[in-house]
Structure 1
């Protein structure tokens, strides 16, 4: 099972509100007064959770410290020890909970209670909080720890509710507090608290790399064990924590962890780079820093895999400070959890900033070259976050703030621009495409990767996020597209890029924890690192919908094709070209074939034989050969509670412009074609539509989908079945992309998205003089009037691109 308590909320409170700066006490191992290693380790951990290197009288730190003191004062004043609770609004015990959900909620309040004590301990330890060194606050923290130990978190208690609360959430907050309040606790308390941790987190918790002890969860457990060793002066616990990290480092070939293509998966089937992956990255950075230079230092050479993953796994999903929602799983539904006036709505930007801070911390243990490059990347991401500047992030802890501020203020660091290129993550059915001025991300699903994840009452309507959802952002425009109350207000049946049945689905349809997996193999494609041909054989969630969908990611456009669209649910089927969140006001002009449409809400129209459309401030859409498309301006209202049982009930409204193909009720072999041009103005959109020779749609059927762009020297085909399309011939299903270069060479990219070809022959009917390079999977390459490539067993290539370079005749 997975935690009811939001990891992000917990980290923001325990590792975030905790992550402050300027401690009242020694702030580094070097300044520890005692010679024993545990004193030094406590000093190091204090620095990691309190921060250093900033002035408590400088903004934004001054205000944050004051807020920390204010919050701690509130917790202090309202603390009322009683049977089953430490605060009246945080009841953690019930002798007979009525439901599993109640039991989960009670266990979450244990974490909540320890987190509040941790906040109080931080206010006591930090300079500038107004409660620094306050003896009454100190005594209240000790009283609270004693009460929780006596009431619930002790070595005689049987756990209930969510495992996470007992093994990760509560002990992490408890042990952080023990480090901060160590001198006030005494040996007897320390022994008792450590015994409780040993009871709930025994050595066997990391005995095997399975179940809830993998990936980010394993790193969290190792943090608990390491801090147990620090607080309880146990060399054995520290050694166990260090050694238990090693299974996290190697690439995995299935399920949880880092994959060699940069995929990060948690809960077996869920792409989670931006949520659990963030937790893992931050946890590893802290543990590497804690143990560095000690007898327990992490020296496993495979830790380099984690360093390599900064740019191989995380950077592709970071864009101008945000982390893409396509790899955030259930976290997309955790926008607003309180109706309080000062409540903060979580979003992709606020989730991205902790990752930037973690990269800065991790860099301290990497090579000098890596550290310098990462700092330059972070500076660029942070500077370009115009929508939500990181130093104004109200959920970001002061330690993270101080790390980012140190990079932004470092004149020796030159900000790097956003990298360009395409990354295809075949192991998690995701792709990212980055061009000057914009970026896009594609979410798909197959028999290994779920349509979406729901669980603990979260992400109840994420049903179609894996049905070909195409996200895109501009560099200085539309950066808040999915940040500003998008998820509770968007029509979940009309997510951008998807093909979906309008068949009504129940909340959490398909099952919890990524249980819903489509029975399809052909999902993936090819890329040369700059352009790509990607396809998805789509089967609808809990519906009869079938479709073949292809995307061709090019220099200034994404070409989208759909074919074989069929359904028998008695419901309409639609393909959403785009669904743009226009904010509360929705003032963007919408133009179709040169005619500006009414700026009214609601407004709808059927656009017959439309050639192009343009949405001011966003981009353009081209419909090759003309198409009938529906358009709708509407104001949509919802609440975070609608999509997350822990969400706020406050209604929010946003205005949308939606474009879609209506394939009708129970369609048979329907199709579509369009171009997306992010950032294009109306003139460029119209010009692309008028240039009918720029793009040639070579095939758009249930058997093959392919395009050619002569000016780019590009031909790309997704062969759902073998056949001939243009100059390309394949004898079995595969994906092929050929690019001719001005220097007389060409690149031929081939993949087996189905991961089952034991032989494949691809022919390019173009005169080729010689093969310059080829992978070992090519058993035969014949040149001359045409190029004939015979591939051997591709089933073990995991759908990755096989690249052949040739010299043209």
Structure 2
């Protein structure tokens, strides 16, 4: 399976200090020489690449005596000396706590052992560690590499446990360590290590773009091959690595990889722009930099797709320096990796990639980074000791070189290929996670993310103005109620750890998931079916500036379990006493307090935001202290109890409801008075329909009409002959109609708008104009399977 038992590729590699590339890389290489196609060349170019890879691993351009580097380097030295003191080569282990022969954990322990050797080598090579140039330390590294080679990682061993350790985790760390310690190793030692890598990562590992050799995994395999080629001075290996990258570049329409709409999928069914996406941009940024200007430079024109992914795929999910968890897969359950660390690491990779981008791209990306750094909450990015020295130095250089700080964007972005959406108001960011027969409810595997059951059932995560960005990074995942993910409608039927199966096996048999957007507004919907339950519902979200209108209808189940629609599940931190006010009444901040409101019109949580219930709603409120452990959701986590306080708001539909519904407006970052005023303004946004056949709103002052048609139907002057999402925005005698067919069957969908239209100004080629005049008739052309199509018309 894809990663080590109880841990992640990131745990090993981050612990080893590997991260971003050097700040001041000498990218110019000697001109290509005759004979470059031979299996082995003169050592000059190989040596240049080896030294460059060393810089990529260790970082350059930083002052070891200045912070945050001084503290980071000192900690590196301490870790290295601890590893040296406890290293005890024996049959079946290099460290007593990392046995190599246990079938269940041996392969992961092998990677962990190589990780400790990498730490020791870095402490020897880096300045300011207290062990810089320590001959005893680097000699122990050589002995450790030899011991692991003799005991487990050699040409005679048959792989067991996790394939990733044998083909990616261990060889990456082995090769990086050998590059750092190169001058202290003999030719015989290097030959042994290279032969072992050749055994476990043969050329055939990248012969076919399938299985475990796709997307981020393929990038990692190419990284291993390229480093092996550099270390062993084998031109063919480097050329193979370069050429084997090419299948990673083009957009895909199914399976793993980047999609034209900005989606990134790994493991076939999982939205993975974070985590595996981080691995991919890390590997590609390094390999582009390593090979730039050399005989093996990456010149495939499709590499531009990777450069474009910075703004199309990665940036939309980075909020003030954190990577939204909706695209972090099972990594949300990892104790050592939170959304902030993931985001900051990806920012460093973007800075690395910028070194080989155009001047315009480089300036834009550095401005993005500076904006994220300036707005980052909690621990400042440039002082985050969890980042490697190389990453810290690279981010510092990017910020210093940025022409300006890019402001936070506003508006929606939809990612239909991975059932995700993002919306930003002027003071908040939100992400929406859905699932369908194309995208899993959640991913669990290797004992990770055992209770992520409902994270793909319409989870609406948000970060509001006036609230620190640690809502989900401050021990949310081990302490939150897994049945009460914000925004979801769920049956509280008890589920088993890993319910539904591992590696994306848990997928609903639904097709209607997606929506339409015009760059300013959006309408998104999900035909919801419960995980291992009979629950079914139609849920919609309308992104309207600083508001998100949330509708649910047709909520039906027969499991004998209560069904709830969770308005919010706010993490107040370890000691939060944020006030809850409902309809002007401030409630006592008493732990364990459970209130029921028969007809609430609005609610507000101090420091977080407001909630408006347009027609009044029966709302439950619970203030509680919740205790959990990381090990309960990830077998690799600690069993130490963690406690956080929560305020939860939900609509209780009772046991086995039939055609239940809800409606509320989320106002992230709103103040209490603003929330009360909005609740009194019934005309700002009106709910036109909320049924299992159509859900629609209008905002007359904005000239906005939006609807999700679950079947053929009509509302507000709009009519469609099949399932569709429709968004109409009218302004100054012009209108933009944005349409989507979320089921993506390719069947044509016809729309009639009962509004006089003079002419069509512009249209998407996938839109057929059937009539203008007294009304407008459009059709989404047959074969249109993904995304929004737009038509701009002139009104009479």
Same fold (TM over 0.5): yes
Q: Which residue of 2 is the match for residue 314 of structure 1?
A: 314
Stretch of structure 1 that moved more, 5-14 or 286-295: 5-14
Once the two structures are TM-superposed, the CA of residue 688 in structure 1 deviates from its matched residue by 1.1
Residue number among 98, 101, 104 corresponding to 1:90 in the alignment? 98
Q: Which residue of 1 is the match for residue 652 of structure 2?
A: 662
What stretches of structure 1 of length at least 5 have no aligned partner? 336-344
Residues 268-326 of structure 1 deviation map (CA, whole Å, 9 limit, x = unaligned)? 00001011001100110000000001000000000000000100000000010100000
Asked if 2 retains the 8 angstrom alpha-carbon contact of 1:360 and 1:403, the reply is yes
Secondary structure class of the residue paired with 1:314: helix
Asked if 2 retains the 8 angstrom alpha-carbon contact of 1:782 and 1:789, the reply is yes
| Residue 806, structure 1, aligned to residue 793, structure 2 | yes
- The structure with higher relative contact order (CA 8 Å, sep 6+) is 2
Residue number among 409, 430, 434 corresponding to 2:424 in the alignment? 434
Which runs of structure 2 are paired with 1:500-519 in the superposition (5 Å)? 500-519=490-509
What stretches of structure 2 of length at least 5 have no aligned partner? 31-41
Q: Which residue of 2 is the match for residue 453 of structure 1?
A: 443
Asked if 1 retains the 8 angstrom alpha-carbon contact of 2:729 and 2:735, the reply is yes
Taking the aligned partners of 2:657 and 2:80, their CA distance within structure 1 comes to: 60
Stretch of structure 1 that moved more, 201-210 or 751-760: 751-760
CA RMSD of aligned residues (A): 1.7
Which runs of structure 2 are paired with 1:296-445 in the superposition (5 Å)? 296-335=296-335, 345-410=336-401, 413-445=403-435
Q: Which residue of 2 is the match for residue 784 of structure 1?
A: 773
Once the two structures are TM-superposed, the CA of residue 555 in structure 1 deviates from its matched residue by 0.8
Secondary structure class of the residue paired with 2:683: coil
Taking the aligned partners of 1:22 and 1:620, their CA distance within structure 2 comes to: 44
Which runs of structure 2 are paired with 1:670-681 in the superposition (5 Å)? 670-681=660-671
Residues 542-581 of structure 1 deviation map (CA, whole Å, 9 limit, x = unaligned)? 0000000000001110000000000000001000000100
Once the two structures are TM-superposed, the CA of residue 413 in structure 1 deviates from its matched residue by 2.6
Secondary structure class of the residue paired with 1:167: helix
Once the two structures are TM-superposed, the CA of residue 474 in structure 1 deviates from its matched residue by 2.1
| Residue 265, structure 1, aligned to residue 273, structure 2 | no
Secondary structure class of the residue paired with 2:498: coil
Once the two structures are TM-superposed, the CA of residue 586 in structure 1 deviates from its matched residue by 1.8
Asked if 2 retains the 8 angstrom alpha-carbon contact of 1:407 and 1:413, the reply is no
Residues 144-165 of structure 1 deviation map (CA, whole Å, 9 limit, x = unaligned)? 0110011100001101000000
Residues 729-784 of structure 1 deviation map (CA, whole Å, 9 limit, x = unaligned)? 1111111110101x210000111101125222111111211111112222333112
Q: Which residue of 1 is the match for residue 764 of structure 2?
A: 775
Which runs of structure 2 are paired with 1:625-644 in the superposition (5 Å)? 625-644=615-634
Asked if 1 retains the 8 angstrom alpha-carbon contact of 2:23 and 2:393, the reply is no
Residues 427-464 of structure 1 deviation map (CA, whole Å, 9 limit, x = unaligned)? 00000001211110000000110000000000000000
Asked if 1 retains the 8 angstrom alpha-carbon contact of 2:13 and 2:115, the reply is no
Q: Which residue of 2 is the match for residue 797 of structure 1?
A: 784
Secondary structure class of the residue paired with 1:247: helix
Taking the aligned partners of 1:75 and 1:764, their CA distance within structure 2 comes to: 71
Taking the aligned partners of 1:19 and 1:428, their CA distance within structure 2 comes to: 27
Q: Which residue of 2 is the match for residue 606 of structure 1?
A: 596
Taking the aligned partners of 2:707 and 2:26, their CA distance within structure 1 comes to: 59
Q: Which residue of 2 is the match for residue 7 of structure 1?
A: 9
Count of residue pairs brought into register by the alignment: 784
Asked if 1 retains the 8 angstrom alpha-carbon contact of 2:274 and 2:328, the reply is yes
Taking the aligned partners of 2:635 and 2:58, their CA distance within structure 1 comes to: 33
Secondary structure class of the residue paired with 1:216: helix
Asked if 1 retains the 8 angstrom alpha-carbon contact of 2:22 and 2:59, the reply is yes
Which runs of structure 2 are paired with 1:230-269 in the superposition (5 Å)? 230-269=230-269
TM-score for both structures, normalised by structure 2: 0.97
Asked if 1 retains the 8 angstrom alpha-carbon contact of 2:370 and 2:404, the reply is yes
Q: Which residue of 1 is the match for residue 275 of structure 2?
A: 275
* Ranges of 4+ aligned residues in structure 1 off by more than 3 Å: 18-23, 26-31
Q: Which residue of 2 is the match for residue 342 of structure 1?
A: none
Asked if 2 retains the 8 angstrom alpha-carbon contact of 1:609 and 1:628, the reply is yes
TM-score for both structures, normalised by structure 1: 0.95
Q: Which residue of 2 is the match for residue 161 of structure 1?
A: 161
Secondary structure class of the residue paired with 2:554: strand
